[in-house]
Each structure stands twice: as C-alpha cells, then as structure tokens.
Amino acid sequence: MYAAAWSFAAPRLVASHQNEFGTIQRISSSREQCLCTSNFLKGVKWAPDGTCLLTNSEDNTLRLFELPCEVYSLPETGFSDMAPCLRYNEGEVVHDYCWYPKMSSQDPSTAFFLAVAREHPIHMHDAFTGKIKGSYRPYNHVDEIDTTYSLCFSPCGDHIYAGSEKAIRIFDTSRPGRSYHTLTTYSRKHGGQSGVISCIAANPDHTGLLAAGSYSGTIGLYTATGQIWKLKCGAIFEGHYRPGPKGKIGEDGEEKRREVRAGVTQVTFSPCGNYLYSGARRCNSIICWDIRHTCEPLFSMSRICHTNQHIAFDLSPRGDLLATGGQDGCVSVYSTCQAGQLVGRIHEGRGGSEGSESVCVNGVAFHPFLPLVATATGQKRFGLRTMPSFFEEGEVCASGVEFVLKGRSAGAGAGGREVDLTYPMEAREDGEIVCEMESPQGEGTLTAPTDSQTHTPTPTLTP
C-alpha cells in the first residue's frame, strides 16, 4: 500500500503483508522430484467505506485486511505490517468477488461482499463474521450448477449481475436462491456476443446500462426496459488484439503473424458514465471508449501483459487518473484528462525500489477518499534444478543442430534409468548454444559452450 498524494512524484510504502505469500518447496524422495507450491495474490479491492480491503490468492482464500489506524495520518517514515483479520476459503478457484456498493462498517447489515468459485453457487459473505449470509444458484439446461465467471452489483445494490457462458443472470439481492432472469448474449439464430462473459460493469449514472466483456474478444452494451434486457443498438465492438499463431514466411524472409482478438478481462465505467475503459489478456493496451460513439476508441494506455494472467487497473474516485499493473513490476499511472498521458510510476519489485527484482503487479486499487493506492503482486513460479542435480552422470553432445543428453537419472543408484533425450538447439552470437527443454521440475533453457563436442555436463537450467 502506497501513499501517493495523487502526484506520484515520490510514493512511499505505508503498509504491507508478505508472510503468507511466497514459494514453498517440498522434496519427495519416493518420486524423485521437487514439488513446488507458490501462493501469490491475484487481486485487491477496497471496501466502499475505505476501512478495509479484500484480496484473492492462489490458495483459493479471500483475506480481509483492516486499514491500520496509523495509516490514516499518512506517516512520513516507516510502514505498518498488515495482518488479515478474517479468511474465507472457497474450496475452488475464485473467479470473481465484489463489495456491496453501499457497504458501511457503521451498519453491519450492509457489510458484506459476494464471491464465486468454479462450479459453486454465488456466496454472500458477512464481512464481520465470515459466515455465508446467502447463496445465489444459477442452473444450466441440465439442472446443474452453472459456473459463474464474473460478478457485479447494480449501482444501488438491489440487483446482482452474474456472467457465464453466453448468458448473464440477474438476481434480486434480497432474494437468495435460484430465482433469476436470464439475458442470453448469443444464440445461433440471432447471433450476438459469444463466449464466456468474463467481466461486467454497471454504469454509475443509474441509466440501467450494462457493459460486458467476453473471452471471445468483444464488448457488449445492454440496456433494460422493465424486466426485459436487450442489446443497445447492436453495440458489440472489439479493439483488443494479440499476436496469433505463426504464419507463412513472406517474400522478405520474415515470418508473418496475424493478429487475433484478445479475451477481455476487465471493463470499468468512468464516474461520469460517459466513458468505458477495457483491458484484455495478452494485450499491452487499455482502451478508452466513448459509449456515445462506440465505433472507435478515444485513446489507449500501454502496459506489459504478455500472458493470460489477469492484470487489473483502477480509476481514481474523480476519474482523472488510471493506474494499472504490469509484468514489469511497475504500476503505471495515466491522466485520463490528457488523453492517457503517463504521469507517474510506482516501482513495486521487491521493496518498491527501482532496479529491484521484477514481480508481476496484478492488482491495483485507489482508496475511496484518501491518497492511498493498494497493490497486489505475484505470479506462478516453477522450481528448477541445475542439470548436475538432475543427472548423476552423463554427457552433453552438441552436434550441429541439436543437444543430445545421455546419462543416468539421479537418485536411482547403480540401477538408475538410462536417459537419452534430444532437443533442438540455437546458436547465439556470444558463443553459446541454447536449447529450450523440459525436466521433471519444469521448463528451462540449457546453455553450453560451442567449442567442445563432448564433455562432462556443467550447463545450468534457468527459467
């Protein structure tokens, strides 16, 4: 958590928590392998009253953190260690979670949030006790619990929007159970927005406008008339693209790649309700749309996002700033009033200093009224060993276009299993040959000098 004073000239760390997140290695002698489990954060969201924040992590647990009292005074030096006051385990991968928009710690009846896991009902959790106050159960055509991928409250909190495959369910917040209306986003007869509805946002201007993003790479706008929902004037648009599969080699000798649509992971309305911001996986840009003219984007803001990991962004309470994480270990802050001009950066890394080890920043959240920014960092890491610990004995032969690994597997004694593996190699300008390979501990890169044809192996396997 950083105090930025909305200028981001010199943000300082005021609170953090790291004890429950990291990589744990377990050695299994019976199976001769190293089992690595990593627990990392997947997102963070402030409560509407700003007194606490909610996080999601790899261990399928939602953690509730209270804002330390000393942080309210924005101390100039030092930082506090935040410990979770409550934990909620959902049992499966948590797809989405959201706070009740009128939540207030002064009124316990409003202190709750929603969370949904894979193949589970939507649960309403009490933020004080952690107990489940109610469940909302969407069913598919064979009367089984249908997986919900995205959640959103209406601005006044009286309805819940739940996105699933080719459909959006609308629940009444005051009526838990299986009573809901269904908005079908795609059908073979009428077409529409196909794919999984991965994110939903309701327009804060109370006009009943709903934006939905899909993993098919499209964004749809929907309006309601009474209990009937429909697509707003055919408003399905696309603008996020990622590099597609490798194509043919062109006349210039370079391999051509066509772009394909990238799955949309987040849509967010501006506080005024006139603009929509969207981000996608494996896409290095966040796009601003004018929902009054949705054909073309107004401007875009860049970030580093090369994988399918969900990297979130957030708007400041006034809507004049947008902060986004990235795989470069930085939080980039843009001015939405200046067509997406970069105005500041927070170098997260390890300890929040520039030049430190990069770690993916996958969650960013502005405090509702204080100049604070909460960040969530982490990514899946695989444990790798060096090659000498993988092979007891052997040799590496570099013969023109491939690596040949010959030897005896470690841990099996004199009767160990013979290993003879072949991998394609690539010559580097610095005099090394490189090959991409896999081991029982994960994927990596094998490097060795090119001046020797046969030698005792000393290469290393690096991620």
Cβ atoms of residues 80 and 15 within 8 Å: yes
pLDDT of residue 7: 67
Question: In three state form, how does the secondary structure of 250-280 look?
Answer: CCCCCEEEEEEECCEEEEEECCCCCEEEEEE
pLDDT at 421 over 90: no
- The confidence band for 294, taking pLDDT boundaries of 50, 70 and 90, is low
Q: pLDDT, tens digit, for every residue of 362-394?
A: 999 999 988 889 999 988 775 443 333 443 334
Q: Which of 177-186, 303-312, 378-387, 420-429 has the lowest mean pLDDT?
A: 420-429
CA angle 211, 104, 77 (to 5 degrees): 95
pLDDT band (50, 70, 90) for residue 336: very high
**Residues 50, 254: Cα–Cα separation, whole Å:** 53
Q: Of 46-60, 93-107, 411-425, which gets the smallest average pLDDT?
A: 411-425
The pLDDT of 325-354, averaged and rounded, is: 81
Average pLDDT of the chain, as a whole number: 77
Nearest to 198 by CA among 163, 235, 248, 154: 163
Give the predicted TM-score (pTM) of the model.
0.77
Among the residue ranges 35-39, 129-133, 202-206, 256-260, the one predicted with the least confidence is: 35-39
Contact 43, 310 (CB under 8 A): yes
- Closest residue by Cα to residue 263 from 299, 308, 210: 308
Q: Is the pLDDT of residue 195 over 70?
A: yes
pLDDT confidence band for 28 (50 / 70 / 90): very low
Report the chain's terminal Cα–Cα distance, integer Å: 29
Helix (H/G/I), strand (E/B), else coil: 390: helix
With 0-12 CB in 10 A as exposed, 13-18 as middle and 19+ as buried, what is 445? middle
Measured CA to CA, the distance from residue 211 to residue 206 in angstroms comes to 13
Give which of 302, 292, 375, 311 is closest to 339, Cα–Cα. Answer: 302
- Strand 159-164 with 150-153, pairing: antiparallel
Host H or E run for residue 52: strand 52-57
Q: Could you tell me which of 216, 262, 266 has the C-alpha nearest to residue 242?
A: 262
- Rounded CA separation 41/54 (Å): 11
What single string gives the DSSP state of each residue in 169-181? EEEETT--BS-EE
Strand partners, 126: 112
